[in-house]
């Protein structure tokens, strides 16, 4: 973005019923620090200066993945590259994730965070 200047931050916002607990889940999963945690909002700092904001939504409805035919699909999800897929799944499950019933292939595992958002653990094939 041409109008972006040094010091400006960017990030994504994820709606959640309990932003603090979801931020703590992702902080443990990704080893990124929580840089702000207050009622209604919690923020993870991403190395390099970006952020993931978790914002409270009172009428939050858990996403469904995969969605039934004709239903709204989750519009966005996080992909995390890992070196050992089996170990990464075990770690995520221990933190409170659940494994989705439907999986795309042997190199990717779709999990659901504690608020139901899907995210993918993707095997680094290099």
Q: Does residue 87 lie in a domain region?
A: yes
CATH of the domain at 46: 3.30.720.120
Q: What is the pLDDT of residue 48?
A: 81
**What is the tally of structural domains in the chain?**
2
Q: Does residue 34 lie in a domain region?
A: yes
Give 10-residue mean pLDDT values along the chain (126 residues): 60 94 97 96 90 94 87 85 96 97 95 96 87
| CA dist., res. 40 & res. 33, Å (int) | 18
Q: What is the pLDDT of residue 73?
A: 78
Domain boundaries, position 87:
78-123
Q: What is the pLDDT of residue 67?
A: 85
Q: Does residue 30 lie in a domain region?
A: yes
Q: Does residue 99 lie in a domain region?
A: yes
């Amino acid at each position: 973005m041409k109008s972006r200047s040094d010091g400006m931050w960017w990030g994504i916002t994820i709606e959640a019923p309990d932003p603090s607990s979801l931020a703590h889940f992702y902080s443990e999963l990704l080893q990124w620090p929580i840089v702000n945690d207050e009622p209604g909002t919690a923020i993870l700092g991403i190395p390099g200066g970006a952020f993931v904001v978790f914002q409270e939504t009172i009428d939050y409805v858990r996403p469904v993945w995969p969605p039934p035919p004709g239903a709204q699909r989750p519009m966005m999800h996080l992909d995390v590259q890992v070196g050992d897929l089996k170990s990464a799944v075990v770690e995520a499950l221990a933190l409170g994730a659940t494994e989705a019933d439907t999986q795309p292939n042997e190199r990717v595992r779709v999990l659901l965070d504690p608020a139901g958002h899907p995210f993918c653990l993707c095997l680094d094939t290099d």
